[in-house]
Structure 1
Amino acid sequence: MGFEDFQERIRSRKGAESFDEGDDVIIWESREAAREYWAGVQANLEGVGK
């Protein structure tokens, strides 16, 4: 399951909130943001070398 699918599953759920899944979303969001940031840094560094 991808991150967007997981977020949608959490958002669409009715009933009691799962704090463990909420924590997972927060951790996953921060890791996705870091991955995107470092991918941008890598792209910039590759562009400098050309």
Structure 2
Amino acid sequence: MTTATQTQCACESCHCPVSETEAVQKDGKTYCSEACAQGHPDGKGCGHAGCDCG
């Protein structure tokens, strides 16, 4: 059984853990979603329950 490594989303206001297998990579940083990776161009939130980052 292989366990995926998790890290914190690189978005400063986001508190979501990120699995390496589901991460969005941009500019050498790891994000939990495209919204975080793109700087929240459509407003707040990454789409994950309970997180209001951005």
- Shorter-chain TM-score: what band? under 0.3
Asked which structure has the greater RCO (Cα within 8 Å, sep 6+), the reply is 1
Q: TM-score, normalised by structure 1?
A: 0.24
Q: TM-score, normalised by structure 2?
A: 0.23
Whichever of the two has the greater Rg, that structure is 1
Larger proportion of strand: 2
Larger proportion of helix: 1
